[in-house]
Each structure stands twice: as structure tokens, then as C-alpha cells.
Amino acid sequence: MNKTPSETTQLIEEIKPLVANASCDVVVCVPYIDLHAALEATKGSNISVGAENCHWEQSGAFTGEISASMLSAIGVNYVIIGHSERRTYFGETDVTVNQRVRAALNEGLTVILCVGEYLEQREQGITAELVAMQVKIALDGVSKEELKRIIIAYEPVWAIGTGKTATAQQANGLILTGQTESTFAKSLRKTIAELYCENCANAITIQYGGSMNAKNADELLSQPDVDGGLIGGASLKAPDFAAIVTAASKS
């Protein structure tokens, strides 16, 4: 929940020349009130625009909500669904995440699907099982073809906005399950392979979303199973965001 429309325009204008030569996809996901400004500011650039959430119904008695069809109608291409803040503060559940994913895909949007664990869940060694469950429920009813419009953002909730950034190895997915140490992303890809196919698992984009910033982006994005980043606070300063895009372009 940052930036007025005019501030959004100013920030995007600062970002555009800094990321113009990026060899990775660049997406800005802004509050609903800023979508029009973002769409206007990004015209003719290599930056796409996304929303931060959408409702599962097309219309109806859901005061304050925005539907996927409304987003699609104004030219939005991406939408974040299941962000930890939505789950923590606004009662989002795995079931409603699935409903929102289904609605977004029906409208042709690309979904940035957020999954992740709290600190106590990591300490209990249940990250793999928990995230696998989140993914399986979120993707219920999603076809192999539709999976091409799914990006998975792994966001350890304990590392978001706390300064407790995961180490590069943790971001790559080192988790403890019983006596077995395994790679998170490989575990996640295994879940996708079980649901769909090996090629699907290898093709899906996995982002890291836990306090990635200009200082740690190179190390985090150099990990073999980290394909990109879901950036929070560091996206509010053009030079910092550009540094992360540069790191992503190299990886």
C-alpha cells in the first residue's frame, strides 16, 4: 500500500531508463488506484503492469473488491494472489486462493502465486509439506496449458520486511524434513511434476520473495533454482530496483 497515482508515475519514469535493456521480465504490481497511472507510464516500455489481488467473482455484492475481468478490461496482464499479507491480515485461505487463481486465469491474466511458511513452521520442519499443500490446493483445476501463466513466488513469511533475509542457500530452498535435507525448489518442482509433468516442473518460474534488495540480489539470484524475485520495499527506490533487475538479467 504505497504511492499515489502521481507518485507511481514519477517512480516508473525513474525506473524505465534504468531497466530498458533488461533481459528478464519486469513487472510492477501496484494498488488498484494506481493501475491507470502505471499503465499510462509504462506504454512503449518493457515494463508490464499487475495488480496486487483480485476477487473470484466477476461482479456482485462484494463491496470494495475488484474482479479479474475488471483488471483485464483496463489492460492489466499480471495479478499477485495469495500474498502472505493477504493470508495473515485479511483471512485469505488456500481455498480462496484457488478461487482467485481460477478467476484470474479465466480472464487471461498471468498469476504470481505466493506460497510460504511462518518461522514456527520452518522450525517444525514442515516447510516442504506445507508449501506442497498450498501449491496443490491453489492449482486445483488448473490445466497444463494454463500452468504456463503461473509464476510461483516462495516467500518465507519470517523474512518479509523484517530484515531477517534468508541466506542464499535458504532462498534456494534448503529445508529440513525429518532427517533429510533437500532443496526447496527441487521439492517444489517435484510437486509440479507429480501434478503435471517433468517438463512443466522445469519450465515454471520460481521467484524468491523475502527481503531481496540491491545488496543481496546478486547472491540470491545466482542460486540455480531461484529464477527471479518478488520485490517489496526495495522496489520503492528506482536505483535499488534497477540493481535487482540487473542481477536478474545476469542470472
Query: What are the pLDDT digits (tens) for 55-101?
Result: 999 999 999 999 999 999 999 999 999 999 999 999 999 999 999 99
d(CA 18, CA 189): 33
The pLDDT of residue 189 is 85
* Active-site annotation holder among 52, 92, 117, 155: 155
Beta bridge partners of 112: 80, 151
Active-site annotation holds for 55 = no
Contact 58, 52 (CB under 8 A): no
d(CA 141, CA 191): 15
Question: Of the given ranges (55-69, 154-168, 170-184), which has the lowest mean pLDDT?
Answer: 170-184
The pLDDT of residue 34 is 98
Contact 219, 251 (CB under 8 A): no
The pLDDT of residue 176 is 33
Contact 232, 211 (CB under 8 A): yes
Average pLDDT, the chain: 88
With cut-offs at 50, 70 and 90, classify the pLDDT of residue 159. low
* Active-site annotation holder among 52, 55, 83, 117: 83
Active-site annotation holds for 83 = yes
pLDDT more than 70, % of the chain: 88
